[in-house]
């Protein structure tokens, strides 16, 4: 009888260990999945933020915005071609 | 009453039958129908989801993103899961832009769904709110929606490519969706467990277009401005690089502000723009010599039952005159030296009546009838640009052939195709010749004819002071419902910039300008000049300024040692005008010994325009230093190319002096 109880105890321990391993593994996986989801959300957020900033920079750099402001605030104008001089630099001056 | 033993046997038999039925049913469920039940159980516990592939990005030629794919969100709200409906509701309403009424209606529902799509920035504060369920979805986003909208196209509501390059390049951009299996509970909610990926999504390829975002903006703004000022019905602008066939800018606009790709799809009769092609045939076949003259007929010539008129009557015209003043009579007389087959073949060779082959989902061929369908006046009409319909992109490519020494190229909108995430280049555009249309010499002669148009002919409004331009005007009557409509015209202008070794072909077409003149010389030509000036002043525009500086007449006097070390330099903008204004005479400052950059800046500050002669160090000016000249007048700055070398050879620093006034 005693030998039989040992076997039962052994099987019970093996079962508990296996169950615990499965539980631990699942818990770690769910935690990792949650972290992954958080990181993805952060990346999406940063991507969105970058796109928004790029859009604002492009809008600010556009001629539709820059030219009127340059004219109104600084008294500048778009140069006519006679005011544009391309000066060929001698070789090696780069 | 049966004996007990019999009753026991009956009970045993009954139990056995029951067990047999149970085993049989178990066998039926497990063995016979096992697969079906297993699948049903699997379906209840798991769900197969589609993993969207990220659509490739569209860039302009300098790497500016024109169309990108971003993660956006649909938002689901479960009101009964909210911890604090009042506070949460205020936050949700603010982030999603909901009215109070909409939010109250949402609270009355078991589950409210807001399709959005909302950006990651908008939903970020909602991630931690219980009862808010975010569903991510990839969405197409256009950083500057107005840029080349008709050319780039859009995706439809179903997420599929609907128009423009999005549609043409869909097989490259779309990528391949993946699939995964996720676990879910009894209520159908997905567990936060890792999905089992069956097939990972393959992102689409990135495509670098040939478009130049800055040129595109210049073209769009110039076109919008022209339509508004001239009260025109519609317009198109095409800019391309004649050496590669790469389209740099494409702007199309209707009166109501809408943009459709009319540069590819809408045809028009080119009028005088086509005269240069008759000249091409005549020069190629040697049917005309530079000294040949025809009579101008006093501006009115009746031939084959039809009267041809000239707006600027000339007593006698050469071929150069015919192009320069855009004489209908002279070109019709010269074209009579061609057979119909020759005339047709030349126009066909320039690409008219055929698809250009550009990567766009819709393109019109225009109309060029074969000689068998011509009537008696057809030859004269075709020489004047009538009985022929073309698209702006066809005109641009045909003029591009003249710029490209007679070689017609296939136009393209795709410069490169790259793997996603900065991977390797899968495809890079190489110029694709279609055919040689005219010889190199004839192309050069034709460019000379076009140069005369801008210098002394109908295109003077497009002339630049420092850079030669070759161009042709075209003003043609418009066909409405199959008939020429009274008082309706198409003004068009095709230009090569610069006239020598052109880097840019521009075509401007304005439909029915109502305000002021309807002639291309007064409408489309100034628009072209304005765009060229802006392109020259822009830093990032795809112009080879080193080549331009040698093409500029005042710079050609100073040939560089070699072209390897040329550094493009545009005189600094902003320009600072002299406070004294323009008009009164003032002394020319002494700039001798200054570097060219400093010298030009000094003269500009004094209010003079500057023409350069040579490079190096400023030597003297004309008018000379100390002489008075009217503000705004041209001062020629002469440079000594060896002065800098002499200075350097002595081991001294280049002379620097502060600006003088």
pLDDT in tens, B107-153: 888 888 888 788 888 888 888 888 888 888 888 888 888 888 899 99
Whether residue B608 is contained in a domain is answered as yes
Q: For residue A72, which residues of chain B lie inside 8 Å, CB to CB?
A: none
Q: For residue B616, which residues of chain A lie inside 8 Å, CB to CB?
A: 90
Answer yes or no: do B119 and B27 share one domain: no
What pLDDT score was predicted for residue B552? 52
User: Could you tell me which chain A residue has the CA closest to the CA of B194?
Assistant: A33
pLDDT in tens, B360-379: 988 999 999 999 999 989 99
Interchain pair B575, A79: CB under 8 A:
yes
Answer yes or no: do B462 and B492 share one domain: yes
Domain containing B269 equals: 213-546
- CATH number of the domain at B197, please: 3.90.1310.10
Whether residue B326 is contained in a domain is answered as yes
For residues B374 and B340, the answer to whether their CB atoms sit within 8 Å is yes
Kindly state whether A5 is in contact with chain B, defined as any CB-CB distance less than 8 angstroms. Answer: no
Answer yes or no: do B251 and B354 share one domain: yes
Whether residue B505 is contained in a domain is answered as yes
CA atoms of B155 and B165, how far apart (whole Å): 10
Which of B151, B177, B209 is the C-terminal boundary of a domain?
A: B209
B481: left (phi over 0), alpha (psi -120 to 50) or beta: left
Sign of CA dihedral A19, A25, A28, A30: negative
Answer yes or no: do B490 and B593 share one domain: no
Q: Is the bond leading into B117 cis (omega within 30 degrees of zero)?
A: yes
User: Could you tell me which chain A residue has the CA closest to the CA of B545?
Assistant: A86
Q: How far is B601 from chain A (nearest CA, A)?
A: 10
Whether residue B558 is contained in a domain is answered as no
Mean pLDDT for B483-509 is 93
Answer yes or no: do B515 and B395 share one domain: yes
Q: What is the largest CA-CA distance in chain B?
A: 149
Whether residue B553 is contained in a domain is answered as no
Mean pLDDT for chain A overall: 85
Whether residue B287 is contained in a domain is answered as yes
3-class DSSP assignment, residue B338: coil
What pLDDT score was predicted for residue B193? 62
DSSP label at residue B55 = P
What pLDDT score was predicted for residue B575? 30
Mean pLDDT for B71-85 is 86
Q: Is B522 exposed, middle or buried (0-12, 13-18, 19+ CB in 10 A)?
A: middle
What pLDDT score was predicted for residue B630? 75
| Residue B4, φ and ψ in degrees, nearest 5 | -55, -40
**A interface test, pick of B51, B143, B222 with most A CB neighbours within 10 Å:** B143
Q: How far is B533 from chain A (nearest CA, A)?
A: 5
Answer yes or no: do B449 and B305 share one domain: yes
Which of A15-29, B43-57, B140-154, B594-608 has the largest mean confidence? A15-29
- CATH number of the domain at B595, please: 3.30.10.20
For residue B515, how many other CB atoms are within 10 A of its CB? 11
Which of A28-42, B272-286, B296-310, B571-585 has the largest mean confidence? B272-286
Interchain pair B120, A91: CB under 8 A:
no
For residues B235 and B510, the answer to whether their CB atoms sit within 8 Å is yes
For residues B586 and B629, the answer to whether their CB atoms sit within 8 Å is yes
C-alpha torsion B289→B294→B300→B305, nearest 10: -80
What pLDDT score was predicted for residue B2? 59
Kindly state whether A35 is in contact with chain B, defined as any CB-CB distance less than 8 angstroms. Answer: no
Taking Cα atoms as reference points, which of B434, B369, B359, B438 lies closest to residue B397?
B434
Specify the number of domains making up chain B. Answer: 4
Decide if pLDDT at B656 tops 60: no
Answer yes or no: do B335 and B261 share one domain: yes
3-class DSSP assignment, residue B98: coil
For residues B213 and B147, the answer to whether their CB atoms sit within 8 Å is yes
A75: left (phi over 0), alpha (psi -120 to 50) or beta: left
- Output the DSSP codes for B399-431: HHHHHTTTEEE--BSEEEEE-TTT--EEEE---
Kindly state whether A59 is in contact with chain B, defined as any CB-CB distance less than 8 angstroms. Answer: yes
Q: How far is A74 from chain B (nearest CA, A)?
A: 8
Whether residue B289 is contained in a domain is answered as yes
Mean pLDDT for B601-629 is 79
Query: For A63, which of B71, B217, B552 is closest by C-beta distance?
Result: B217
What pLDDT score was predicted for residue B660? 32
What pLDDT score was predicted for residue B550? 60
**B interface test, pick of A79, A87, A91 with most B CB neighbours within 10 Å:** A87
Decide if pLDDT at B574 tops 70: no
Angle between helices B440-456 and B392-403 (to 10 degrees): 110
Answer yes or no: do B326 and B424 share one domain: yes
Answer yes or no: do B454 and B314 share one domain: yes
Which of B254-258, B554-558, B570-574, B576-580 has the largest mean confidence? B254-258
**Percent of chain B, pLDDT > 90?**
48
Which of B142, B177, B209 is the C-terminal boundary of a domain?
A: B209
CA atoms of B331 and B104, how far apart (whole Å): 76
Whether residue B329 is contained in a domain is answered as yes
Q: Which two tokens stand for residue B48?
A: 């197969």
Interchain pair A88, B558: CB under 8 A:
yes
User: Could you tell me which chain A residue has the CA closest to the CA of B462?
Assistant: A81
User: Could you tell me which chain A residue has the CA closest to the CA of B597?
Assistant: A87
Interchain pair A52, B119: CB under 8 A:
yes
For residues B209 and B66, the answer to whether their CB atoms sit within 8 Å is yes
3-class DSSP assignment, residue B542: coil
- β-pairing verdict for B206-209 and B58-59: parallel
- β-pairing verdict for B609-613 and B634-640: parallel
Residue B652: C-alpha distances to residues B592, B613, B641, B647, B649 (Å): 17, 25, 16, 6, 8
Decide if pLDDT at B654 tops 80: no
Mean pLDDT for chain B overall: 85
- CATH number of the domain at B426, please: 3.40.710.10
Residue whose entry in the numeric block shows the structure tokens 């030219």: A67
Answer yes or no: do B575 and B535 share one domain: no
Mean pLDDT for B382-398 is 95
CA atoms of B604 and B68, how far apart (whole Å): 43
pLDDT in tens, B154-176: 988 888 888 899 999 999 999 99
CA atoms of B164 and B395, how far apart (whole Å): 20
| Residue B615, φ and ψ in degrees, nearest 5 | -140, 170
3-state helix, strand, coil in chain B (%, to 5): 35, 25, 40
- Output the DSSP codes for B506-526: EEEEEE---SS--STTTTHHH
3-class DSSP assignment, residue B177: coil
pTM for this predicted structure: 0.75
| Residue B82, φ and ψ in degrees, nearest 5 | -70, 135
Taking Cα atoms as reference points, which of B382, B297, B298 lies closest to residue B336?
B382
Residue whose entry in the numeric block shows the structure tokens 């002339």: B463
3-class DSSP assignment, residue B115: strand
| Residue B223, φ and ψ in degrees, nearest 5 | -70, -45
What pLDDT score was predicted for residue B559? 37
Q: What's the pLDDT band for B568 if we cut at 50, 70, 90?
A: very low
Question: Which DSSP helix (H) or strand (E) runs through B294?
Answer: strand B294-295
Sign of CA dihedral A40, A42, A48, A51: negative
**Percent of chain B, pLDDT > 70?**
89
3-class DSSP assignment, residue B218: helix
CA atoms of B506 and B467, how far apart (whole Å): 15
Query: For B560, which of A26, A70, A90 is closest by C-beta distance?
Result: A90
Q: For chain A, state the CA radius of gyration.
A: 35
Answer yes or no: do B246 and B189 share one domain: no
More confident residue, B270 or B481: B270
Decide if pLDDT at B75 tops 70: yes
Answer yes or no: do B416 and B505 share one domain: yes
- Output the DSSP codes for B588-645: PP--TTSBHHHHHHHHHHTT-EEEEESSSEEEEEESPTT-EEETT-EEEEEEETTHHH
For residues B112 and B77, the answer to whether their CB atoms sit within 8 Å is yes
Q: What's the pLDDT band for A45 if we cut at 50, 70, 90?
A: confident
For residues B271 and B278, the answer to whether their CB atoms sit within 8 Å is no
What pLDDT score was predicted for residue B311? 86
Q: Which range has the worst mean pLDDT, B265-274, B343-352, B587-596? A: B587-596
More confident residue, B131 or B575: B131
What pLDDT score was predicted for residue B648? 38
C-alpha torsion B410→B415→B420→B425, nearest 10: 90
What pLDDT score was predicted for residue B279? 96
């Amino acid at each position: 009888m005693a030998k039989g109880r040992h076997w039962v105890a052994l099987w019970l321990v093996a079962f508990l260990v296996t169950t615990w391993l499965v539980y631990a593994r699942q818990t770690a996986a769910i935690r990792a999945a949650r972290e992954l989801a958080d990181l993805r959300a952060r990346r999406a957020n940063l991507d969105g933020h970058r796109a928004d900033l790029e859009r604002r920079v492009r809008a600010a750099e556009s001629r539709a915005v820059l030219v009127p402001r340059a004219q109104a605030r600084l008294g500048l104008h778009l140069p006519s071609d006679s005011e544009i001089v391309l000066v060929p630099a001698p070789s090696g001056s780069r | 009453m049966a004996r007990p033993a019999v009753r026991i046997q009956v009970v045993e038999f009954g139990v056995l039958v029951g067990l047999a039925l149970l085993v049989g049913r178990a066998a039926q469920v497990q063995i016979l129908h096992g697969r079906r039940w297993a699948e049903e159980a699997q379906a209840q516990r798991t769900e197969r989801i589609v993993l969207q592939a990220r659509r490739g990005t569209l860039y302009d030629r300098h790497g500016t993103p024109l169309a990108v794919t971003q993660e956006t969100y649909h938002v689901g709200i479960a009101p009964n899961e909210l911890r604090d409906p009042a506070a949460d509701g205020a936050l949700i309403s603010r982030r999603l832009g909901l009215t109070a009424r909409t939010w109250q209606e949402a609270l009355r529902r078991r589950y409210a769904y807001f399709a959005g799509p909302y950006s990651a920035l908008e939903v970020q504060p909602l991630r931690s709110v219980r009862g808010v369920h975010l569903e991510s979805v990839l969405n197409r986003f256009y950083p500057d929606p107005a840029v080349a909208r008709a050319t780039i196209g859009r995706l439809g509501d179903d997420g599929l490519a609907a128009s423009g390059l999005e549609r043409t390049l869909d097989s490259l951009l779309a990528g391949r969706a993946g699939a995964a299996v996720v676990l879910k509970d009894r209520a159908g909610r997905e567990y936060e467990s890792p999905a089992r990926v069956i097939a990972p999504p393959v992102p689409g390829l990135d495509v670098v277009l040939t478009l130049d975002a800055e040129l595109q903006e210049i073209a769009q703004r110039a076109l919008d401005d022209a339509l508004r000022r001239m009260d025109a019905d519609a317009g198109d602008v095409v800019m391309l690089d004649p050496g590669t066939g790469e389209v740099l800018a494409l702007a199309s606009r209707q009166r109501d502000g809408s943009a459709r790709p009319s540069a590819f799809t809408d045809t028009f009769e080119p009028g005088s723009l086509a005269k240069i092609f008759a000249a091409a045939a005549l020069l190629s076949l040697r049917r005309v010599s530079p000294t040949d003259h025809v009579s101008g007929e006093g501006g009115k010539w009746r031939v084959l039952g039809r009267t041809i008129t000239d707006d600027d009557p000339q007593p006698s015209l050469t071929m150069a005159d015919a192009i320069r003043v855009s004489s209908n009579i002279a070109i019709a007389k010269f074209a009579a030296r061609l057979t119909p087959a020759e005339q047709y073949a030349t126009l066909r060779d320039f690409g008219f009546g055929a698809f250009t082959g550009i990567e766009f989902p819709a393109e019109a061929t225009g109309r060029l009838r074969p000689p068998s369908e011509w009537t008696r006046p057809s030859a004269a009409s075709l020489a004047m640009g009538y009985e022929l319909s073309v698209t702006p992109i066809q005109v641009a490519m045909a003029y591009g052939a003249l710029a490209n020494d007679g070689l017609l190229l296939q136009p393209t909108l795709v410069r490169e195709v790259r793997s996603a995430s900065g991977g390797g280049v899968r495809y890079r555009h190489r110029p694709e010749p279609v055919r040689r249309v005219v010889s190199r010499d004839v192309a050069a002669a034709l460019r000379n004819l076009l140069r005369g148009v801008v210098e002394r002919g109908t295109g003077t409004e497009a002339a630049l002071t420092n850079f030669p331009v070759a161009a042709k005007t075209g003003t043609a009557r418009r066909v409405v419902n199959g008939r020429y409509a009274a008082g309706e015209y198409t003004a068009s202008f095709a230009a090569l910039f610069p006239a020598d070794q052109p880097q840019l072909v521009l075509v401007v077409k304005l439909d029915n300008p109502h305000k002021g003149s309807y002639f291309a010389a007064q409408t489309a030509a100034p628009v072209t000049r304005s765009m060229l000036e802006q392109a020259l002043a822009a830093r990032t525009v795809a112009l080879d300024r080193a080549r331009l500086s040698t093409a500029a007449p005042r710079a050609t006097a100073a040939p560089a040692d070699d072209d390897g070390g040329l550094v493009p330099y545009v005189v600094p903008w902003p320009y600072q005008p002299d406070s004294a204004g323009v008009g009164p005479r003032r002394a020319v400052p002494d700039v001798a010994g200054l570097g060219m950059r400093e010298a030009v800046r000094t003269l500009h500050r004094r209010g003079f325009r500057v023409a350069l002669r040579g490079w190096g160090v400023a030597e003297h000016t004309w008018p000379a230093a100390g002489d008075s000249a009217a503000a705004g007048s041209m001062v020629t700055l002469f440079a000594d190319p060896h002065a800098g070398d002499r200075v350097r050879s002595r081991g001294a620093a280049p002379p620097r002096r502060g600006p003088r006034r």
